[in-house]
Amino acid sequence: MIKIIKTVREMQDYSESLRNSGRKISFVPTMGYFHDGHLDLMREGRKSGDSLIVSIYVNPTQFGPSEDLEKYPRNFDRDRSLAESVGVDVIFFPSNAEMYPKNYQTYITVEEVTKNLCGLSRPGHFRGVATVCAKLFHMVKPHIAIFGKKDFQQLVTIKRMVADLNMDLEIVGMPTTREKDGLAMSSRNVYLSQEERESALCLSRSLKRAKERYEEGERDAGRILESVKKYIENVPFARIDYLKICSTETMNDVKILDGESVLALAVFIGSTRLIDNYVFGEDLNIN
Amino acid sequence: MIKIIKTVREMQDYSESLRNSGRKISFVPTMGYFHDGHLDLMREGRKSGDSLIVSIYVNPTQFGPSEDLEKYPRNFDRDRSLAESVGVDVIFFPSNAEMYPKNYQTYITVEEVTKNLCGLSRPGHFRGVATVCAKLFHMVKPHIAIFGKKDFQQLVTIKRMVADLNMDLEIVGMPTTREKDGLAMSSRNVYLSQEERESALCLSRSLKRAKERYEEGERDAGRILESVKKYIENVPFARIDYLKICSTETMNDVKILDGESVLALAVFIGSTRLIDNYVFGEDLNIN
């Protein structure tokens, strides 16, 4: 029977006693409304720890004022069943009052790697992400925390924060889980109409196109981006928010692909903003 | 024999094994150059934990560009002997390269309680303090950390950060240790000439004066401050940096002393900036 914990105090005491009894805690922080991408992270967590804790919390501080906080999909009962099906031990499900009590005023900023991409499009987003992850790490006290590479800049930011603040835990990034046709799984995919769902394939197809240019020997970032841009501009409902090739270490734009580089893109499909990315040289399981 | 640890990895492994063996860790973070105020914090730490760890680190990120980072007094061998004399188990003595490696970029801000007083006079100071304390807490993994009330706003800031970020440790504030004549102990007192040393008594005497006004029934902050200000203005070498009465919860100025309030002051004695404070209603051991 899966255990549900709702208060910080109970979560900390529970985790402390797990640690004191020598158990390795693996942790998957989520905003809920699980899809197979979340479940893949949990399956990895199940393998890498003795106790698997999943948090479900739609964190308001990482949403901008005009973003989709209110309509973000939620379904706790469904999430509980899915978590149970992959062997999660504990769901940590705190309230807003528990997370941000009156007079709350402390924030963590990771200054450099958050400047580009989503950091530009969503001011304050990564401050919210870094802060809530630090809080969750202090509550859950994991030995290992597992994040998806779909949110690539988020993963880089969390790794940077954990290293800089000397948090004694391991951050693991897992490959993006995709639908059969290539669309990266995202809780936001439910926003898409049937027509938009077809257009949304332009993200994964862009990655595939960039990978092909790279494998043909192209190392000029501008030429790869131009090819992708031309393609997306002809897709109905699609509007590019950003489309860049960046160093995976600094997240700054690169002109030539010499070090490890990532193509990252955010595209509005109608009013739904989707992101995806491809680290050059890696596999991309898209037909 | 006192143990000296210089690397983060060794410190974390050492503390983790202490915790796993059920020992309670008490921690006194310092910038070294110990005086009896530091030793009082250590004596308290000795009583409240099974293992007592003291860090010595002059943290550059809490000094402003025109402040005394370079000339801040240091004497490791003397500090080691003094720590040994009060039963410290471990001195954690990291290098700058260990604390802030290349590409370091993560900072913690406690936004409200740092706006006034030293937060106004020393921009960035509390960001540096909060960040280094969070790092040290993640390295030393204490159950309890002990700070002096002399740095009152620092204590409030650290308590706020620990609560907001859900760090699972207790923060204890200890009364200010004073010289026989009332001067609050500070590593910076060594900067004072003999004449300045006499003038420096104006800080503790100001507190005494404010306490007397309060005990006579005065609750108007402006009148208490005026009385203190007039007194300090006639002291040679003394120049007020700030002199305020604030809520101990928000650190905002108060006009009437109804909730718990603190008189906080920073005074330049020649070129040496000294601070002191008095929480109204508390004891003040000054003759």
Q: Which domains does chain B have, with CATH numbers?
A: 3-174 (3.40.50.620), 187-279 (3.30.1300.10)
Among B151, B108, B132, smallest CA distance to B264 is for B151
CB contact under 8 A, A165 and B139: no
Strand order across the A261-269 sheet: A238-247, A261-269, A272-279
Nearest to A164 among B19, B20, B105 (CB): B105
End-to-end CA distance of chain A: 39
When pLDDT is cut at 50, 70 and 90, the band that residue B286 belongs to is: confident
Contacts of B167 in chain A (CB under 8 A): 138
Structure confidence by residue, pLDDT tens digits, A132-149: 999 999 999 999 999 999
Q: Which of A35, A38, A125, A143 is catalytic?
A: A38
- The percentage of chain B sitting over the pLDDT mark of 90, rounded to a whole number, equals 99
Determine the pLDDT at residue B194.
97
| Helix or strand run (H / E) with residue A30 | strand A25-30
Active site residue A143: no
Write out the DSSP string of B188-216. Answer: GGGG--HHHHHHTHHHHHHHHHHHHHHHT
Determine the pLDDT at residue B153.
98
**Mean pLDDT of all residues in A189-198:** 97
Per-residue pLDDT for B135 more than 90?
yes
Determine the pLDDT at residue A285.
81
Residue with tokens 């706003």: B153
Mean confidence (pLDDT) of chain B: 97
Residues of B classed as catalytic = 38
Whether the CA torsion B63, B65, B66, B72 is positive or negative: it is positive
Nearest to A8 among B12, B138, B166 (CB): B166
Nearest to A165 among B12, B22, B138 (CB): B138
Report the chain B residue with the minimal C-alpha distance to residue A113: B105
Whether the CA torsion B78, B81, B85, B91 is positive or negative: it is positive
Structure confidence by residue, pLDDT tens digits, A44-88: 999 999 999 999 999 999 999 999 999 999 999 999 999 999 999
Phi, psi of B63 (to 5 degrees): -100, 140
B-facing residues of A in 82-111 (CB < 8 A) are 103-111
Tell me, yes or no, if A243 comes closer than 8 A to chain B by beta carbon. Answer: no
Structure confidence by residue, pLDDT tens digits, B251-265: 999 999 999 999 999
Among B191, B185, B184, B136, smallest CA distance to B161 is for B136
Per-residue pLDDT for B80 more than 90?
yes
Tell me, yes or no, if B133 comes closer than 8 A to chain A by beta carbon. Answer: no
When pLDDT is cut at 50, 70 and 90, the band that residue B96 belongs to is: very high
Among B147, B141, B160, smallest CA distance to B247 is for B160
**Mean pLDDT of all residues in B149-155:** 98
Report the chain A residue with the minimal C-alpha distance to residue B115: A105
Nearest to B106 among A20, A135, A164 (CB): A164
Contact A166, B8 (CB under 8 A): yes
Tokens of A5: 């914990």
Dihedral in degrees, nearest 10, Cα atoms B119, B122, B125, B126: -10
**Mean pLDDT of all residues in A3-23:** 97
Determine the pLDDT at residue B240.
98
| Helix or strand run (H / E) with residue A55 | strand A51-56
When pLDDT is cut at 50, 70 and 90, the band that residue B52 belongs to is: very high
Report the chain A residue with the minimal C-alpha distance to residue B10: A168
CA distances from B267 to A68, B66, B183, B279 (A): 50, 17, 13, 18
When pLDDT is cut at 50, 70 and 90, the band that residue A182 belongs to is: very high
Tell me, yes or no, if A168 comes closer than 8 A to chain B by beta carbon. Answer: yes
Determine the pLDDT at residue B13.
98
Contact A232, A267 (CB under 8 A): yes
**Mean pLDDT of all residues in B210-226:** 98
CB contact under 8 A, B168 and A138: yes
Per-residue pLDDT for A287 more than 90?
no
Per-residue pLDDT for B287 more than 90?
no
Taking only Cα atoms into account, the Rg of chain B, rounded to an integer number of angstroms, comes to 19
Structure confidence by residue, pLDDT tens digits, B100-120: 999 999 999 999 999 999 999
Determine the pLDDT at residue B166.
98
Structure confidence by residue, pLDDT tens digits, A209-253: 999 999 999 999 999 999 999 999 999 999 999 999 999 999 999
CB contact under 8 A, A107 and B111: yes
Determine the pLDDT at residue B285.
81
Structure confidence by residue, pLDDT tens digits, A17-43: 999 999 999 999 999 999 999 999 999
A-facing residues of B in 134-153 (CB < 8 A) are 134-135, 138-139, 141
**Mean pLDDT of all residues in B125-129:** 98
CB contact under 8 A, A168 and B138: yes
Distance from CA of B19 to the nearest CA of A (A): 8
Among B165, B193, B209, smallest CA distance to B272 is for B193
Per-residue pLDDT for A286 more than 90?
no
When pLDDT is cut at 50, 70 and 90, the band that residue A108 belongs to is: very high
Nearest to A108 among B103, B106, B168 (CB): B106
Among B177, B163, B156, smallest CA distance to B264 is for B156
On the 0-12 / 13-18 / 19+ scale of CB atoms within 10 A, A215 is: exposed
Whole-angstrom distance, CA of residue B210 vs CA of residue B266: 15
Tell me, yes or no, if A209 comes closer than 8 A to chain B by beta carbon. Answer: no
Whole-angstrom distance, CA of residue B215 vs CA of residue B208: 10
* CA B53 to mean position of chain CA atoms: 17
